[in-house]
Amino acid sequence: MKLITFTNKGIYCPQGKFYIDPWRPVDLAVITHGHADHARWGMKKYLCHHFTKPILKKRIAEDIECQTLQYGEVLNINGVKLSLHPAGHIIGSAQIRLEYKGYVSVISGDYKVQDDGLSTPFELVKCNEFVTESTFGLPIYNWLEVDDLNKRMQSWVLRNQENQKTSVFIGYSLGKAQRVMKAVEGIGKIHVHYSIGKLNQAFEEVGIQLPDYEVPDFRENIKHVAGDIVIVPPALLDSNVIKKIPDAATAICSGWMQVRGARRWRSADAGFAMSDHADWKGLLQAIKATEAEIVHVTHGQTEVFSKYLNEIGIKSDVVETLYGDDDEEETEKEIIKD
Ligand SMILES: [Zn+2]
Ligand SMILES: [Zn+2]
């Protein structure tokens, strides 16, 4: 049984006649989540989770045709039973479960098994065939517990407050920024860049509660943010926007911060290894729990990770896709330019 095939347009389900996260225009695109490399422009029709729709509308176009599902709701498409299950990656992110004649395939998109307190927690879905990402598929990637990480971020802010510094967090607009807001909720006034404000609005439209924040106009005088918490996207690192913030202490929030000396991050004062992807243990935990007979490895540490799976007795292969290892960065460029 082949319920999915890997084509030059994307992951295809021939029985259902639809694509999952395609990178070329198709008639029906089932979308795992709102990051730009997974949710692209030009599809005749989109199908995604209820929370992802406002993100697609903001990012792609207001007038796209978009059908939504809740987690667990089953839709029959040409005889294929399709349902979405929480992927825990960002708000609205979903694993796509397909069932046809008793055979089950799950395409997980991007996922993390840690509960970030904001995204619907990852759900383990048993299947015959599993498609996994491998962004952080090396043993060196080991995230702190979310509570520990949040406490470290809070202490950093409190220390900055004592030293009359402004705490400036640098994190992706879609996912990371909202997690930072949640992590520092209640310990200081939060200001976010308008690109983050725009996405926050998309979440609020579908009823997601976010901590209070303000959206200052960075083109104007922003002296009034002194001593507070400011969140800006990575595209603005080293930009004049950050230079305008009075007495700024900067911290980058990214899974890549686990690797010391990453050149691009050198200009920041602090780093927090906060990621929306599963770490090494998380990937293995999720994959083992699926009990899949075959695991297809996409974007990230594909070769090494797939080889390791085969070594521990899980049949695996590498699949070429056009998803980015740094998907959020793509999204970022799009958001900043408009
Ligand atoms: Zn993503
Ligand atoms: Zn991805």
**d(CA 327, ligand 2 centre) in Å:** 5
pLDDT at 238 over 90: no
* 296, β-bridge pairs: 131, 317
Q: How many CB atoms lie within 10 A of CB 313?
A: 7
pLDDT of residue 336: 44
Least confident of 3-7, 143-147, 229-233, 332-336: 332-336
- What 3-state class would DSSP assign to 2? coil
pLDDT of residue 31: 98
- Ligand nearest 298 Cα, by number? 2
Percent of the chain with pLDDT over 70: 94
pLDDT of residue 334: 45
- What 3-state class would DSSP assign to 19? strand
**d(CA 21, ligand 2 centre) in Å:** 10
**d(CA 228, ligand 1 centre) in Å:** 29
Q: For ligand 2, an ion, list residues with CB under 5 A.
A: 110, 323, 327
**d(CA 92, ligand 1 centre) in Å:** 11
With cut-offs at 50, 70 and 90, classify the pLDDT of residue 327: very low
Please check whether residue 18 is in contact with residue 30, taking contact to mean a CB–CB distance below 8 angstroms.
Answer: yes
pLDDT of residue 1: 81
**d(CA 133, ligand 1 centre) in Å:** 10
First and final CA of the chain: distance in angstroms?
45
- Ligand nearest 91 Cα, by number? 1
**d(CA 36, ligand 2 centre) in Å:** 9
**Helices (H) then strands (E): counts for the chain:** 8, 18
Q: In the predicted model, what is the mean pLDDT of residues 194-199?
A: 94
Distance CA(143)–CA(272), nearest Å, equals 10
**d(CA 329, ligand 2 centre) in Å:** 11
Q: In the predicted model, what is the mean pLDDT of residues 210-234?
A: 93
The residue ranking higher by pLDDT, 266 or 148, is 148
**d(CA 37, ligand 2 centre) in Å:** 7
**d(CA 133, ligand 2 centre) in Å:** 7
**d(CA 244, ligand 2 centre) in Å:** 33
Q: DSSP for 72-126? A: T-EEEETTEEEEEEE-SSSTT-EEEEEEETTEEEEE--S--SS--SSSPPP----
- pLDDT, tens digit, for every residue of 115-169? 999 999 999 999 999 999 999 999 999 999 999 999 999 999 999 999 999 999 9
- pLDDT, tens digit, for every residue of 269-319? 999 999 999 999 999 999 999 999 999 999 889 999 999 999 999 999 999
pLDDT at 335 over 70: no
**d(CA 328, ligand 1 centre) in Å:** 6
pLDDT at 337 over 80: no
**d(CA 73, ligand 1 centre) in Å:** 22
**d(CA 159, ligand 1 centre) in Å:** 32
**DSSP code at position 178:** H
pLDDT at 338 over 60: no
Q: What is the mean pLDDT of the chain?
A: 92
pLDDT at 266 over 80: no
**d(CA 233, ligand 2 centre) in Å:** 18
Please report which helix (H) or strand (E) contains residue 253, including its range: strand 248-253
Q: With 0.75 as the threshold, say if the pTM is over it.
A: yes
**d(CA 174, ligand 1 centre) in Å:** 9
**d(CA 327, ligand 1 centre) in Å:** 5
Tokens, residue 262: 């990453």
For residue 213, the one-letter residue type is Y
**d(CA 122, ligand 1 centre) in Å:** 14
- Ligand nearest 23 Cα, by number? 2
Tokens, residue 131: 């498609």
Q: In the predicted model, what is the mean pLDDT of residues 22-39?
A: 96
Q: For ligand 1, an ion, list residues with CB under 5 A.
A: 35, 110, 327
